Amino acid sequence: MNPDEGKQLRRMETKLIRLRKNGWANYTRVLGEYVDHRFLLDPPYPEKDVRSFETGFGITLPSQFRTFITTLGSSGAGPHYGLLSKDWYTSTDLFEDPLKTARSLQDPCPLEEKKYGDDWLEEIGGDDWEKRLYEDQSWNPLQGMISISSLGCAGSGPLRGRLFTINMDLWTPGICESSSFFDWYEAWLDALLEGKDNNAMGVWDGHP
């Protein structure tokens, strides 16, 4: 973690404290009735637990996300329904096969920094994408990604560390504007503290 990232991490921690002091009840309307993290984070993961996860799947988590979950908090407060625990990271694997899960996480994320249309599966997977996905189970459009919220984080490929809106029913994905995990998380905090609409972050209707 470089000095600038250290400052940003401390800044985010301070903003979470401010939100808690403002009172959860002041934000229930703008966050939605199904959100209940109360701006609390679960304790950070021990380094050995994260290393064990990485070793088990043959991957290395993106650096800022890895720093966050081992320093500030492992799950809880975050955009939409909050940050997921590591038990959910592999839910981007569509095959539910331990061997294929590891391969799916190791393969490069096929998504690019662009806007996709309804034909996005053909665009990234070719004309035979259905056969490769459903029959051969040799390709996964969500490969190289981990599920960290209602979004996926690219763990490999040219956009490693970037966040995408994804859906397990394979709706069209979209890339988040923030270029890093820290920027994405802090944008959510700022939207709440400044009373800004940010539907992409799960902040609805501006001021509480």
pLDDT band at 197 (very low <50, low <70, confident <90, very high): low
Q: What is the tally of structural domains in the chain?
A: 1
Q: What is the pLDDT of residues 88-111, one digit of tens each?
A: 888 877 777 767 787 888 888 988
* CA pair distance 93, 130, nearest whole angstrom: 16
What pTM did the predictor assign? 0.87
Residue 206 forms part of a structural domain: no
What is the pLDDT averaged over residues 12-28?
Answer: 89
Residue 22 forms part of a structural domain: yes
Range of the structural domain that residue 127 is part of: 3-201
Give the per-residue pLDDT at 203.
55
Give the per-residue pLDDT at 21.
93
Give the per-residue pLDDT at 206.
47
Using the CB atoms, write b or e for 62-81: b if 16+ within 10 Å: bebbbbbbbbbbbbbbbbbe
Residue 208 forms part of a structural domain: no
88 contacts 101 by C-beta, under 8 angstroms: no
Residue 31 forms part of a structural domain: yes
Residue 207 forms part of a structural domain: no
What is the pLDDT averaged over residues 170-175?
Answer: 86
Query: Where are the extended beta strands (E) located within 89-179?
Result: 145-147, 151-154, 163-165, 174-175
Give the per-residue pLDDT at 164.
85
Residue 136 forms part of a structural domain: yes
Q: What is the pLDDT of residues 106-119, one digit of tens each?
A: 888 988 888 899 99
Give the per-residue pLDDT at 208.
44
